[in-house]
Amino acid sequence: MTGKLINKRFPPAAGVASALAVLVVLALSVLGNASTQQPAPASAPAGEFSAERAVSELGRFATEPRPMGSPASDRAKDHLVERLRAEGLQVHVQHSVGVRSGTGLATFGRVDNVVATLPGNASTGSVLLAAHYDSAAVGPGASDDGSSVAAMLETVRALRAGGPLRNDLVLVITDGEEDGLLGANAFVREHPLAPRGGVVLNWEARGVDGPSLMFETSKDNARLVETFTTAVEHPRGDSSMVAMYRMLPNNTDFTAFTQAGFTGLNSAYIEGSSRYHTAGDSIANLAPGSLQHQGENMLALARAFGDADLAGLRSDHDLIYFRALGMTITYPDTLVWPLAGLAALLLVGAVALARYRRLVSLPKVLVSALSALLPIAASVVLAQAMWSLMVAVRPGYDLMGGLVHRPLIFQVAIVALTGFALLCWYLPLRNRLGQAALALGGLAWPTALGIACAALAPGASFVFTVPALAGALGALIALMFPRWALVPVTAGALVSAMVLPAVTRNVFHGVGLALGGAGALLVVLLGLVLLPIGELFFPDRALRRRSVAVILLSAFAVACASVGGGLAADGFDAQHPRRSHLAYVLDADANTASWVSAEDEPTDWTKQFVGTRNTDRLPAGYARGDLWTGPARPLDVDGPRVTGSRAGDTVTLHVSSGRGATDLVLRVDRPITDVTARAPGSAPVSVQVSGTRAGTWPGEIRFRDLPPEGADITFRARGNQVQVTAIDETHGLAVAPGFRPRPPDVEAGTREDGDRIAVTRTYRF
């Protein structure tokens, strides 16, 4: 029994129309969800959002790096305070110390949050617009997150041009996000507005282009998502992003707010991510359409939540939401299990009916389902192997984390490799097991994954359940009405073509090519669902071995050509530079200095400074991971100063910098717990630490924006003697002896200890 799901009893034109319809919907799904908005000019009506006006604001504070505690950060803060007061808001600056813990790590920092309030006329609570004004140390942060701050200023201007809002609108422009959400932590921990709670709308950017995606929500989000989908004219994002973000160790300021009890939504644009945290995150590279989309959404949501009864936004469940051909589909998470179960029942029914019609046998369906794991696994492996090959051919990709400058052609290559893997499975088995058995067996995987997601990540279940449900229903109806089989099968394929490409595109841009296997998994599942449509391109008779070989070789050639074309097109130049990592380290105890690089294969520029893997010259506790080193001339500067004592397991220190460095790090040679820091004029701040740091000494304490007087730090560490290496750090390498600037086609990488002058001293307590 090797029957077909669609017997070709229809005019050839019908088959062509069916396949063409699926291809058109695939293209529309990808392109429709990639679109941003046409930037509005400065002459746009006063009550509307204008990207041109927002960019003008951005140019006043986001043209240089703004790490916390820097003069540029202070200038940006002062400008924001002045602008918001000019708009008539009640503005103050919250001075505090923020804190965050990680594995073996405690980070403290002095923060200056700008908080501005626009009172409502009949308030039911507070609506918070949140973004951060600090940037990475090596780039101006025009997108991350200057664009969101500029959008907030433009949003306030547009709101002031209309009638008053019902609820209080609070702008929380945080400091210290890049160093560990420090400003957000200080706000929710100490600010008098924080205990009132409210709805927080956080705005981020992880690139310089692409649509604004609403990618994260607080729990029980039904009313929030309903408001988003009705208020926003061009909503983007889906609940699979919410589900994945809840499971992964990624964080924005939104994390601090929701952990403190706020409800809300988190949005960002994520394309052009090769510019993220680099000098390329500039106004020149910012896509105005992305800023327009983010700003329009911000203004619409500020108005919607600003006039809502916030008490009525409470809910007891989440909504599943996703886009399909310009429409936003939503349903309650209580339907996740019923829909996953229904997909399984429909698939069982289709298999039973196909067996009754003698089109399949149960063993052949089972073999088809089990063997379908081969193209699934092969697609993931090939995508990951492609990235390894890319790094081997072009070592400069290593520091980019999969976020290359021109990703599109490589994404096409992953699709081609996936198609190759699918054909390698399908063509040899097509006439042995039968098209019907392969199609029904292939549907078993999205069905099973839908059930798994229902249990583990309900928000992502639609990614698999909806295609499985549509495919199984289409197959069942086709088997019930064989003469019209093409219609229901095509309808089922169209549903998958509406849903999966948009999700796949977001995955490709979200995780990058280093995890290209995640996108490949979705592509191969789409291919399995579309097998009956793909069968329309093959003749009824069995393909000869030569024909099979030609098809497979052609598919592989397309994949190889895509990879080769991508490597040829994605070279490094002044507009698309290669990343590098370099630091200058002075051991003040030994009066020796070293250049240090964490590059896997140093650039020609970096090779001027480093040439060995030997790290013996480095101060105790400084090295983290595999490093290249080279000798350097010592600077004549003072360094960190540490005094202190130990009582039992408790170590009490006073730390400062003799050269006025604003960042200080303590590396401890054993695990630490119970860390407390106190800066002059601030209350002590404590945090629990567990675990150990990887690739370096077990414990680490950071203090960002260290005051000139220093700070007091207390921690617990067991053992007879505790060794502490203090490292004070300043941004930039220009004053380091022997430093030569980078050429135009090389830029500073994103590792946080790069492009710093570090001076160390080691102490024992």
CA distance 47 to 521: 44
For residue 743, what is the DSSP state?
Answer: P
In the chain, the largest separation of any two C-alpha atoms, in whole Å, equals 89
Task: Compute the half-sphere exposure of residue 306: CA atoms within 13 Å on the CB side of its CA.
Answer: 25
Task: Enumerate the β-bridge partners of residue 731.
Answer: 756
Task: Enumerate the β-bridge partners of residue 647.
Answer: 650
- From the CB of residue 7, how many other CB atoms can be counted at a distance below 10 Å? 15
Q: Where are the alpha helices (DSSP H) in 357-372?
A: 362-371
Question: Per the structure block, which two tokens stand in for 91?
Answer: 């503005």
Question: Per the structure block, which two tokens stand in for 95?
Answer: 């001075």
For residue 199, what is the DSSP state?
Answer: E
CA distance 168 to 198: 10
- Asked if 73 and 66 count as a contact pair (C-beta separation under 8 A), the reply is yes
Question: Per the structure block, which two tokens stand in for 253?
Answer: 């300021």
* CA 322, chain centre distance (Å): 18
- From the CB of residue 358, how many other CB atoms can be counted at a distance below 10 Å? 9
* 3-class secondary-structure state, position 340: helix
* CA 653, chain centre distance (Å): 38
Residues 6+ apart with CB under 8 A from 211: 33, 34, 35, 36, 234, 236, 269, 290, 293
CA distance 254 to 131: 9
CA distance 439 to 436: 5
* Strand 699-704 relative to strand 746-748, pairing: unpaired
CA distance 488 to 346: 14
Residue 637's nearest CA partner among 703, 704, 587, 582 is 587
- Asked if 622 and 725 count as a contact pair (C-beta separation under 8 A), the reply is yes
Domains and CATH numbers, the chain: 12-34+338-569 (no CATH), 51-101+111-316 (3.40.630.10), 581-765 (no CATH)
Task: Enumerate the β-bridge partners of residue 107.
Answer: 100, 702
Chain segment 496-505, per-residue pLDDT in tens: 999 999 999 9
- How many angstroms separate the first and last alpha carbons of the chain? 79
Q: Is the bond into 145 cis (omega within 30 degrees of 0)?
A: yes
Which residue ranges of the chain lie beneath pLDDT 70? 1-2, 8-9, 539-542
pTM for the predicted model, two decimal places? 0.94
Task: Enumerate the β-bridge partners of residue 115.
Answer: 92, 172
Order of strands, sheet of 685-687, starting from the edge strand that comes earlier in the sequence: 640-647, 650-657, 711-716, 673-678, 685-687
Task: Enumerate the β-bridge partners of residue 333.
Answer: none
Which pLDDT does position 2 carry in this prediction? 64
Which pLDDT does position 1 carry in this prediction? 53
CA distance 331 to 458: 12
CA distance 497 to 6: 19
Residue 275's nearest CA partner among 406, 156, 157 is 406
CA distance 56 to 79: 13
Question: Per the structure block, which two tokens stand in for 692?
Answer: 């150990």
Q: How far are the Cα atoms of 159, 485, 557 from residue 355, in angstroms, in the given order?
A: 64, 16, 38
CA distance 221 to 397: 39
- Asked if 700 and 689 count as a contact pair (C-beta separation under 8 A), the reply is no
For residue 103, what is the DSSP state?
Answer: B
- Asked if 281 and 141 count as a contact pair (C-beta separation under 8 A), the reply is yes
- From the CB of residue 193, how many other CB atoms can be counted at a distance below 10 Å? 17
CA distance 325 to 501: 11
CA distance 479 to 488: 10
Chain segment 686-710, per-residue pLDDT in tens: 999 999 999 899 999 999 999 999 9
